[in-house]
Structures are given as structure tokens and as C-alpha cells.
Structure 1
């Protein structure tokens, strides 16, 4: 049975790439909102956004940050990382910049969103591993992620002990 996970990402830039990850079928994740539904949540204000995130993180064993060009430093991605870690969930990142988007384009590699977080004197990266598929061909990147994502999730959960 697939682990229940929460996917964190920059919607505007990476929703197409994220839908490819969802289609792999190797993890179970929250439903992705359409742009219109996310807009409804956003219009309801910060409390509504936090509630949606918290509700969808509940019952999940791991947060997967799908890292695109502009994922790091986004307010709600940061909130999701902090909330998941504070709740004892596994946390990991996967670079997705070499997956093609709906226009057939790749994007520049983004920065590691975990770099700014510390736990005591330790960097969060002690518990939050980040994976960067070594291939540049989009179909090979897809295969690498599909072949490894379930084990990366298990590693993240085990690191939280």
C-alpha cells in the first residue's frame, strides 16, 4: 500500500510537472486543486489557506516538496515544511526542473527550500534529504523519480524515527 503523502510545490510554475508525479501511482497524495478552487481558498484569506493545508496534512506520513525554479522561499511552501516537520512527519525534496511542462519546456534548477531552516543547531537537511535525478532527459527523469520515490519516502519517515 502506498504511503499517504502531501505534495508541496509552486502551483503556477509546476502544476503540470506535479501532475506527472501524481500519475506515477507510487504514492498516495492529497487531491490537487484546480486553479479556480485554489483561488477560492486564497480569497477566503490566510486562515482558510492554513486550514486547507492543515486539513490535508492530517493523516499523512510524509511531506514531499517538489522543487522547481521558484519553489524555495514561497510563503505557503515554508508553512507546509514547518508544519509537517513540527508534526513529526517525514520530509523530503525532489527536484523536478528537468521534467517538461505542458509546453515541452524544462526550467532552471531552483534552490533548496530546506536550506533556511534549522532545528536547534542542526540544519533541517539532516532530516530532509533532497534528491536531484541525475538525468536531463525528461522521460529518464520521470522514470528515475517513479523508480525511487517510494523508497525516498520510506527513508524520510525512518529519519524521523
Structure 2
């Protein structure tokens, strides 16, 4: 005898009502359990909860659950679903999700761009006079003040300032000639 209950949503079968009651009774605890197993991934936890309830709907007679322990069975099904999903992901090659492939390509391009830029800068530095290269090494590359560089080089501070100025100006024009960077 299949009796339907008519509610605000229309006719509801005893199986549907039993499934809804099952969800209300066990859903929050099952969701928390699955969420912990999945390390806080709410989307996957919701999928596992839904699949567990779907299996409960199809495999068990939820309308006639008197005397049966449904909760342990549901937790076992959820646990098995999580384990199966984990094994499936481990067995398959890693998937490319979202824009990670784009970030990887950009990182490679950035490394390549840095390498090419360093080659161009090295060539531009070679085009400087030895005195200008020496002034840049003693100040900018050694992270020294012009006074400290003057002491190291044994020349007046004004000479160091002048050499650095003209060296940078020369580098700027050389790099401009080599193309946009």
C-alpha cells in the first residue's frame, strides 16, 4: 500500500519523506565527518553527502528503516566514496585545473625574459669604458655610497659621481638602441 502525503510542495511519497527525514537527522553529522576527511573542501564534501544520500535512496528501502542501523552504513558509504575518489585521482595523471598552465608558462617566459635581459645588459656594460664600468661596480653593484666608492677607487667623490652619471646615460642610450625591453 503506497500512500502519498500532500504537502505544500505537492504529493510526497513515503520514500521521499523518509529520505528528507534521513537528511535532517544525519546530514549535518555526515557532512562534518566528510568535510574533515576532505581537509575542508566544502564542494567535494557536498558532492559526497549528495552521493551518499542518493545511494541510500537507491540501495536501501529508506521508508522502511525500522530496526536497521542506517547511520553507520551511511558513514561507511561516505568514507568509501572519499577513498575511491582519492584513489581515482592518484591513479590518473594530474589534471590541469584553472589557469595553472598559464602561470607555469608565464613563469617560464619570465625566466627566459630575465635571462635575455641580463645578456643585453651585460653587452651594454661591455660597451662602457673601463673607468665607467669600474665606477658602476664600486657604487651600484657593490651597494656603496659615492664617498665609499671614491675611497675604494682612490679618486675624488666628484669624479665617481661624474663617471656614474655618464655610465648610466651611456647604458640608457645603448639599451634604447637594442630595442624595447
Shorter-chain TM-score above 0.5: no
Structure of higher RCO (CA pairs closer than 8 Å, 6+ residues apart): 1
More helix per residue: 1 or 2? 2
Find the structure with the greater CA-based Rg. 2
What is the TM-score normalised by the length of structure 1? 0.29
